[in-house]
Structure 1
């Protein structure tokens, strides 16, 4: 039977999200659906799970996918309920697919994309991604999400997360108001302001989803000896700019607490 979690988050888990900057949902979509999606991704890469000799690159990036299985995985009842609880009912746009997909293969080569960062949310038309921006109200992004489509253990190159780092980033962004900061400006010191944070790994069974605060500092890492790792890292988009009139969402509360507001 498909293993789908159908429980709500509850106050304790929402509070944990506010303080730690992420929560893990096991069984957010079924393992059967994850297997169907892996099959589509293998085909898109022109590779086979049964032919390791073809896995010659440390990472292959696949674009946003809109086929029905991707839409279904992003919109299960448990995920939509979680979006409501963390972002606010009616304040997010239902995902029309999933992406991008950094598929990581076991390799001793440098993947060239491992480094601490925050996902930027606006100004992304600039060809220089170091000029992409984020501001203190998280314009154009409601959540960062990590969808696991294969089992991911510690040796499979899981995403690294700095726990509570969203608070440090919120304080840095506060002084820059609406214009915010570029990735280049935030990364100038190597995200030293978050070096004190504990680190966790985004591991789990296929069907696990990590719902993360938009300011959470995270990093890819090489998959040196593990299995091919399939995951997607889409944003959840807001329906409109954060409105100060309604009660603040947990995403907004995390920013306000960090900034002493």
Structure 2
């Protein structure tokens, strides 16, 4: 284990996560491993990186990949240390793969999936995704994560992130208690309360990972570049329900600061 893997995030990065809602880790896994993942995905979708004429759809989605390269990418020593630092030691489950994986191709065709949103965390037993839920304790989700499996520049459909929006969403979830709010309830205003947030783009070299607060408002966008963008956006799952007796993690500190809570 290298020194950076042992140390993990700096104190500045942890504070940036609390304040802004995300932190970028460069070279969270290496470029060769990212290439292995891309090769596996090309084979999965039956297309070729050398045949742009066959890229007929603006987006192809792969639900989940649990083969060794994907498991390895999600479980590097550096990422494990960062999970400990943001969520708490012993409070998260090691990822058993990566998914979902939206592969975006250069296209002028609208994909219709580029609205601002927050990922829901529980209530998945219903097929109506608008009834999926999130609560102020973030039951069912420890982190939102963005794994860049290819180089992503400003024109390559990088995920848009509203900085500090996690604070606003925490306050909006508070009145709903443990039962939480549905996606329908939370999105009724189109997330207008976060419109003034500064927007950051999830760009970087293949192997970069963005670790995000579960309440962060984010959105896709069209691909205006030249090469397909490969990214996985899995959750980090909690090992158990929130334990008020445990020291607060940075995820929880951000919620407390936003809401003035004592839990």
Task: Please report the TM-score for the alignment, with normalisation by the length of structure 1.
Answer: 0.97
Q: SS at 1:207's partner residue?
A: coil
Structure 1 unaligned spans of 5+: none
Task: Give yes or no for contact 1:5–1:28 (8 Å, CA) kept in 2.
Answer: no
The superposition leaves residues 85-141 of structure 1 with CA deviations (integer Å, 9 ceiling, x where unpaired) of: 000000000000100100000001011211100000101121111111000000100
Equivalent residue runs for 1:1-261 within 5 Å: 6=5, 7-261=7-261
Q: SS at 1:211's partner residue?
A: strand
Task: Give yes or no for contact 1:126–1:132 (8 Å, CA) kept in 2.
Answer: yes
Q: SS at 2:225's partner residue?
A: coil
Report the Cα distance in structure 1 between the residues aligned to 2:133 and 2:16, rounded to whole angstroms.
Answer: 27
Give me the CA root mean square deviation. 1.3
Deviation at residue 74 of structure 1 after TM alignment: 0.2
Task: Give yes or no for contact 1:116–1:218 (8 Å, CA) kept in 2.
Answer: yes
Report the Cα distance in structure 2 between the residues aligned to 1:8 and 1:108, rounded to whole angstroms.
Answer: 40
Name which of structure 1's ranges 222-231 and 54-63 shifts more when overlaid on structure 2. Answer: 222-231
The superposition leaves residues 220-257 of structure 1 with CA deviations (integer Å, 9 ceiling, x where unpaired) of: 11113332000000000000011110110000000000
Report the Cα distance in structure 2 between the residues aligned to 1:186 and 1:249, rounded to whole angstroms.
Answer: 24
Task: Please report the TM-score for the alignment, with normalisation by the length of structure 2.
Answer: 0.96
Count of matched residue pairs: 259
The superposition leaves residues 2-54 of structure 1 with CA deviations (integer Å, 9 ceiling, x where unpaired) of: xx963521211111100100000000000000000000000001000000011
Q: SS at 1:122's partner residue?
A: coil
